[in-house]
Structure 1
Amino acid sequence: MTLTDNGFELSAPVNLRDMGGIPVAGGTLREGFVIRADDLALADETTASDLVEGGLAAVIDLRSAGELANTGRGPLGRMRVTYHHLPFMDSIGQSSQVPGSDVLDQSTFASMYIRMYEAAAARIVTSLAVIATAPGATAFHCAAGQDRTGVMAASLLLALGADDDAIVEDYTRTGANSVAIMARLEPVMASMMAALGLEADAAAKASMGNEFSPAPMKGLLHHLNSSYGDPLEPLRTAGLNDALVATLRERAIG
């Protein structure tokens, strides 16, 4: 058993997937371009090495500073990949402060996703720039690979002209991994839940007891489509331009 400096066990990610094959405007997302994942800071040496040998060039860490301090960067921190810490929330506790979102009920997370997309727009744009210019594959991750990672994946797909159904389908694929995600995160869950004033066991049971819902992503997309002339408007205001979108499309579409 290999442990992090803080004593957390390293293991293979359980919600890691290449986004290749998703339909976007003008084609499909090519394999080997971008990867979404649960916590890569806890990835074991074999997984980390396989990712780098397979072409991984950049890692985007969407976790908060507190989460980074808790688990570090893991084996990938010692390998030849660039690292970009672009937290979508200042602290994990922010997720409990969004009206309408219940941290024990994933189906209510739409308002959290909306706030994240709008408040973290500049970091989303920076992440898209990393993906567009990395000399190989880029992986982005949070803890579970569900919420912050889901918003980042949706942002990329929106920039590439994917339709809502494709974005929701990608998001809901995480549902099949929910139990494995909770089991993998159990050692670090106590400190994460303590930040929310919750017991880890209660959070885990609530998460596993509810069927995974597409409602949060559908809610985000409905808000963007109904509130803006262009769902990318918050990102464009934060610096997304046609040149960056063109570079993404040139590299992303197979």
Structure 2
Amino acid sequence: MTTTTSVPAAGATSVPALPLSPPVNLRDLAGIPILGGITRPGFAWRADDLSLADDASARRLVGNGLSAVVDLRSVAEVEVTGRGVLGSLPVAYHHVPFMASIGTAMKDAAIREDAWDQSRFADMYIGLFENAAPQIVTALAVIAHSPGATVFHCAAGQDRTGVLAAALLLCLGAETEHIVRDYARTGENIDRVSARVRPVIEPVMARMGVRLDPAARAATRTVYSEAPIRGLLEHLHTAYPDPLQPLRGAGLTDGLCERLRRRALSA
């Protein structure tokens, strides 16, 4: 069930009436084998755009132990919706944009229609992991030090969220196949995700002079692929003696990884 609001969301500059609904790509990173055991429930969640969450969904997250939100969206995206309902609830908010401008990235992609093909996103993921390494380390530190559950999200909960999930699981000692399996679960939700985020992405892209028609056409003929996350992980394991090396260069320490593992394994 969806509802609409004509009231500007917390932190937004100017917002039209937007549909509010439960997130459709929200999941607990629980039950994943890591160094020393498996991840426990209520440690870290990943999601699609939480600024569009309806009141009931937002309050349910807080009731289930949510203490911090890490928002990976660009400044332009946040300007459209702000923090949403969660902005009025007792939850710490951390804006850690992985891209300076999603519009610029999509303008570059729009030059070639096949660049919208999700199966070709590995280079983008590699660029995010290496170029946004300081932001990734910041997000990991928030997860490590939050007293309750942390949820991180972008728009679809696929790309920027997928890169952060991979970084977190690498830090925890998860193997490639378990990281890929988590990423692939988004494919089960991608149609609903696309429908949910389109009302926000369209005005963001319109500001940048980008039309979404090529992306929409590509989405209708592209099967959701594991290739991007596999490409990222293969690159990290072959290009560096330690797949976490780009993050270590940005401040990731063994102590932070150990704290994350302790948090992931025990309440």
* Residue identity (%): 55
Distance in structure 1 (CA, Å) of the matches to 2:165 and 2:20: 25
TM-score (norm 2): 0.90
Query: Contact between 2:119 and 2:228, CA under 8 Å: does it hold in 1?
Result: yes
Asked if residue 46 in structure 1 is aligned to residue 37 in structure 2, the reply is no
Find 1:220's aligned residue among 224, 232, 253.
Answer: 232
1:103, CA displacement in angstroms?
A: 4.2
Alignment of 1:15-26 (within 5 A): 15-26=25-36
2:43 to 33, 38, 48: 33
2:59 is the alignment partner of 1:57: no
> Could you tell me which residue of structure 1 aligns to residue 165 of structure 2?
153
For structure 2, list consecutive stretches of 5 or more residues without a partner in the other structure: 9-14
Distance in structure 2 (CA, Å) of the matches to 1:207 and 1:123: 29
CA apart distance, 1:29: 0.9
Range moving further from structure 2, 97-106 or 110-119: 97-106
Give per-residue Cα distances to partners, 1:56-111, cap 9 Å, x unaligned. Answer: 00000000000000111100001101000000000112434479995421011000
Aligned counterparts of 2:22 and 2:220: Cα–Cα separation in 1: 20
Range with greater deviation from structure 2 (151-160 or 98-107)? 98-107
The 5-angstrom pairing of residues 168-247 of structure 1 reads 168-194=180-206, 197-247=209-259
Distance in 2, Cα, partners of 1:106 & 1:119? 20
1:110-159: per-residue Cα shift (whole Å, max 9, x none)? 00000100111011111111001101000000000000000000000000
The total of aligned residue pairs comes to: 254
* 3-state SS in 2 of match to 1:143: coil
Residues 101 and 111 in structure 1, CA contact (< 8 A), matched pair in contact too: no
Q: When the two structures are superposed, what TM-score results if normalisation uses the length of structure 1? A: 0.95
In structure 2, C-alpha distance between the alignment counterparts of 1:221 and 1:250, rounded to whole Å: 24
Within 5 Å, give how 1:120-159 maps onto structure 2.
120-159=132-171
For 1:100 and 1:182, how far apart are their aligned partners in 2?
Answer: 20
SS of aligned partner of 2:19 = coil
Question: Residue 195 of structure 1: CA displacement?
Answer: 5.5
